[in-house]
A and B are shown apart, each in its own frame.
Chain A
Amino acid sequence: MKMRRISHEMWQPISSEEREKEKIDRPSMTYWQDAWRRLKRNKLAMLGLMMIILIFALAIVGPWFSAYSYSDQNLLRGNEGPSEDHLFGTDAHGRDLYVRVLYGARISLVVAVVATIVNFFIGILYGGISGYMGGRVDNIMMRIVDIISTIPLVLYAIILMVVIGSGLKSIIITLGTIYWVKMARIVRGQILSLKEQEYVLAAKTLGASIGRILFRHLIPNAMGSIIVTMTMMIPSAIFTESFLSFIGLGVSAPMSSWGSLASDALGGLRSYPYQLFFPSAAICITMLAFNFLGDGLRDALDPRLRK
């Protein structure tokens, strides 16, 4: 075969007009930059994010700036309506409801943090290994998840609380033992489809270890659905805690949680409805904020909607 020589004269400089045509005008954006940009444009989602930050900031610093502590009793001023002294009024023992609602927010914050840690560490690892290994390992691991998820969380929590006593500690233990199953399922599903992609094959060919493939290649690519799932798991953990506290199994007095405050208010509902109003409003606002943020994130992280 005879090679054709490309002579020097065949090259020509392109005109400036043509160069302009080829230029990539927009700066290239990573997936996360794009998602964040789209999230910022979603007003409801940003409102949700602000509200979550505000609620938890108040939960942390709020009680320091109050003249009362969550357990200060003043029986002479029991069941007082909202006033300048007591922003949300007082309960039957004369405890300041504003501080107690903020204290409840702290409990919710603790629950949220625990739920996040459990989901991130156990859920992702479990689902990742199960999905990546496949075969018999996957089969056994998913059977365990199936068995755990047949029984509702609340039922587990109640049984565990009877054994180890009710309180914040039990809620944390319950969440820690079983709260990762949903995340594990979702991560597994993602990994199952991701592991067939070429870049995984390339990484394998280069001799990357399982850990490296899982943590550097697969999980970062599944992060979108992991985050969307997180925004559903956190409020549902907060929900569960207030539910348990409402039926008398959560944190014990004098600590307060939104659920136990609502439960305490039940008896005097006809005379002191504000005692129910404030903790209930706190739960609803938090749930609403997480919902807005979750919906916004789902839209922002959906690659099909990327422009």
Chain B
Amino acid sequence: MGRFIVNRVFSMGITLLLVITITFALMHAIPGGPFTREKALPPAVMKALEAKFNLDQPLWRQYVDYLGGVIKGDLGPSFQRTGVTVNKLIEEGFPISAKIGGLSVLLVLILGVPIGIISALKQNKWQDQLAMFLATLGVTIPSFVLGTLIIYIFSAKLGWLPSYGLKSWKHYIGPVIALGGFSLSFVARLTRSSMLEVLQQDYIRTARAKGLSEFVVVGKHALKNALIPVVTYVGPLVAAILTGSFVVEKIFAIPGMGKHFVESVGNRDYTVLMGITIFYAIFLVVMVLLVDITYGLIDPRIKMDE
């Protein structure tokens, strides 16, 4: 187990180094500097700007400086907004995005898994058919359609939910559902099919033959194995919710990380773009590592030492 974690942390480091290098290279490969305007700036101003952001240094020097900054946790200043650092944008935006994203993950797991289990137990009965009908709809509706539908029906037509901002608990309902809808349906389908497969196995028949109650058979014996595919999906789930936030934060006008990111694409704020990308990469890689470790703890068949 220890060796496995050390190995994984090492390859994680390499992945991140590559991501940083590639992002850095791409951002510096863009034709025209970040201060290229329609009206050319006076040379003196240009020079001062370049000196301020270290752009007058040779490229390798900039790279080493940037890398050093990232290791120390400093992602540099924003090119477009004076006096704002990338760190400050992340500090502002991340808690908001994390709150909505975290709630979505909870919604997906707390609702999706039981729906899948019930569907499997009531296979081909009306409960199963209803749940799977909804889940099939859920995986076909993109988050931006679901989000705008929620605004149209519940805010514009019925007036039940507010359509933007994050002031009360009511504000969270729309974004959380729009963000989690797809994954919720996916998890429900995944749990159902893996539960159905597990329930057919011999050890379940043995457990039933022993006279164990249905609750113990399903809750203790079947669930443990049925949940393994769901655990492996948690990594992709986090990634899906992270990218989904770009769209949902745009629709519901939420000032989170996703909104900053999309805005920085719009106004070509390269340092912000680079900083947030790297932040996302670190976040994702750490999450995937945590999921992998949990996975190994749950399923003893996975050999960690390889």
Contact = CB atoms under 8 A, between A and B. Distances in A.
A258 B27 CA distance: 29
Interface string B147-191: 011011000100000000000000000000000000000000000
B148 A151 contact: no
Contacts, number: 102
A154 interface: yes
A158 interface: yes
Contact of A155 (B14, B141, B270, B280): B280
Contacts of A280: 145, 148-149
A271 to B, nearest CB: 10
Given A147-B18, A160-B26, A262-B144, A155 B152 contact: no
Given A239-B142, A291-B140, A152 B243 contact: yes
Nearest to A283: B142
Contact of A159 (B26, B156, B262): B26
Query: Would you call the interface of chain B mostly helix, strand, loop, or mixed?
Result: helix
B284 interface: yes
B246 A154 contact: yes
A163 to B, nearest CB: 5
Contacts of B273: 159, 162
B115 to A, nearest CB: 18
A284 B148 contact: no
B14 A147 contact: yes
B277 interface: yes
Contacts of B261: 158
B265 A249 contact: yes
B218 interface: no
A162 B268 CA distance: 8
B283 to A, nearest CB: 11
Contacts of B243: 152, 154-155, 243
A288 B242 contact: no
A186 to B, nearest CB: 14
Interface string A210-250: 00000000000000000000000000000100110011110
Contacts of A283: 142, 145
Contacts of A254: none
Contacts of A303: none
Interface in B247-292: 247, 250-251, 261-262, 265-266, 268, 270, 273, 277, 280-281, 284-285, 288
Contacts of B156: 269-270
A146 interface: yes
A169 interface: no
Contacts of B141: 284, 287
Interface in A124-156: 143, 146-147, 150-152, 154-155
B152 A146 contact: no
B127 interface: no
Interface string A153-186: 0110011111100000000000000000000000
Contacts of B231: none
Given A146-B11, A162-B265, A266-B251, A287 B140 contact: yes
A288 B18 contact: no
A284 B243 CA distance: 19
Interface residues of A, number: 36
B44 interface: no
A246 B270 CA distance: 21
A161 B3 CA distance: 39
A155 B11 CA distance: 20
Contacts of B27: 162-163
Contact of B136 (A151, A248, A262, A288): A288
Contacts of B64: none
Contacts of A161: 265
Contacts of A158: 261, 265
Contacts of B18: 147
A150 B284 contact: yes
A242 B246 CA distance: 13
A139 to B, nearest CB: 11
A284 B18 CA distance: 37
Contacts of A97: none
A143 B151 contact: no
Nearest to B251: A266
A266 B145 CA distance: 10
Contact of A150 (B142, B143, B288): B288
B19 interface: yes
A163 B148 contact: no
Contact of B284 (A146, A152, A247, A259): A152
Contacts of B250: 246-247
CB-CB nearest 10 A-B residue pairs: A287-B140, A154-B243, A280-B145, A288-B140, A152-B239, A246-B144, A147-B15, A270-B156, A163-B26, A152-B243
Given A243-B144, A263-B144, A273-B152, 11 more contacts: A146-B15, A150-B284, A154-B246, A162-B270, A163-B30, A243-B247, A247-B247, A247-B262, A284-B145, A287-B141, A288-B137
24 contacts: A146-B11, A150-B15, A150-B284, A158-B265, A162-B270, A239-B142, A243-B142, A243-B247, A248-B262, A248-B265, A248-B266, A262-B145, A265-B148, A266-B148, A266-B251, A269-B148, A269-B151, A269-B152, A270-B152, A273-B152, A284-B141, A284-B142, A284-B145, A291-B140
